[in-house]
Chains A and B, each alone.
Chain A
Amino acid sequence: SAVISQKPSRDICQRGTSLTIQCQVDSQVTMMFWYRQQPGQSLTLIATANQGSEATYESGFVIDKFPISRPNLTFSTLTVSNMSPEDSSIYLCSLSPGTGNEQFFGPGTRLTVL
């Protein structure tokens, strides 16, 4: 299985600022995913990050709020822009080796917005 790392592991941010979360994988993968998990909730897919093309966002999530970069097959970033307390959540990146296969998750970034 792939080794996935995320930075930062946690952060406390002020309202109105932005935070960029990095996700690094130890092998090349075509598709990477960004999820949000709010306290006591399950995982909600924010977007699918494709290398070499624009990310595909799920309903309720927009590029202006959550810009994503995918410069190569082992790295992606998610930015949470103009943060509000409602953005306090755990953000996880994940990858899937192929259609129908299980997903492997990074350790997550715990974000608190004051």
Chain B
Amino acid sequence: GQNIDQPTEMTATEGAIVQINCTYQTSGFNGLFWYQQHAGEAPTFLSYNVLDGLEEKGRFSSFLSRSKGYSYLLLKELQMKDSASYLCAVSTGGFKTIFGAGTRLFVKA
């Protein structure tokens, strides 16, 4: 079966660093995505990993280990506006993408 696991909720302090983990078991793998979704809005693309290693983009970094079926999203210098849900998603081949349930991040002052 297809399974993507990530924590339901996390809380962090403004200015801090937070790591959101994601593990996956899928029948195919064509890349892993992270999306950000603010309440009441559509998801927006953050990052894409298809090879093992770290991809850095400003305050956001994403890591992938295909052998372990594991990824994490690292957010640095947290800001209040980073309070949102973060969705881990796996492209399983063709045009199909499976989404995890999302991690709701609360950033407090």
- By CB atoms of chain B within 10 A, which of A31, A43, A96, A99 has the most? A43
A41 within 8 A of B: yes
A112 within 8 A of B: no
Q: Which of A50-71 contact B (CB under 8 A)?
A: none
How many A-B contacts if CB must be within 8 Å?
48
B99 near A100: Cβ-Cβ < 8 Å? no
A41 near B101: Cβ-Cβ < 8 Å? yes
A86 within 8 A of B: no
Task: Report the interface size class on chain B.
Answer: 20 to 34
B94 near A99: Cβ-Cβ < 8 Å? yes
Q: Which of B51-109 contact A (CB under 8 A)?
A: 87, 89, 91, 93-102
B50 within 8 A of A: yes
Main secondary structure of the interface of A (DSSP, over half): loop
With a cutoff of 8 Å between Cβ atoms, the chain B residues found around residue A104 in the complex are 45
Partner of B42 from the list A41, A92, A100 (CB cut-off 8 Å) is A92
* Bound complex: CA A106 to CA B50 (Å): 25
A107 near B41: Cβ-Cβ < 8 Å? yes
Shortest Cβ distance from B33 into A: residue: A102
A81: min CB distance to chain B, Å: 24
Beyond the given pairs A31-B95, A107-B41, 11 more chain A to chain B contacts, judged by CB atoms under 8 angstroms and listed by A's residue number, are: A42-B102, A44-B99, A45-B96, A45-B97, A92-B42, A96-B97, A99-B30, A99-B91, A100-B31, A102-B33, A104-B45
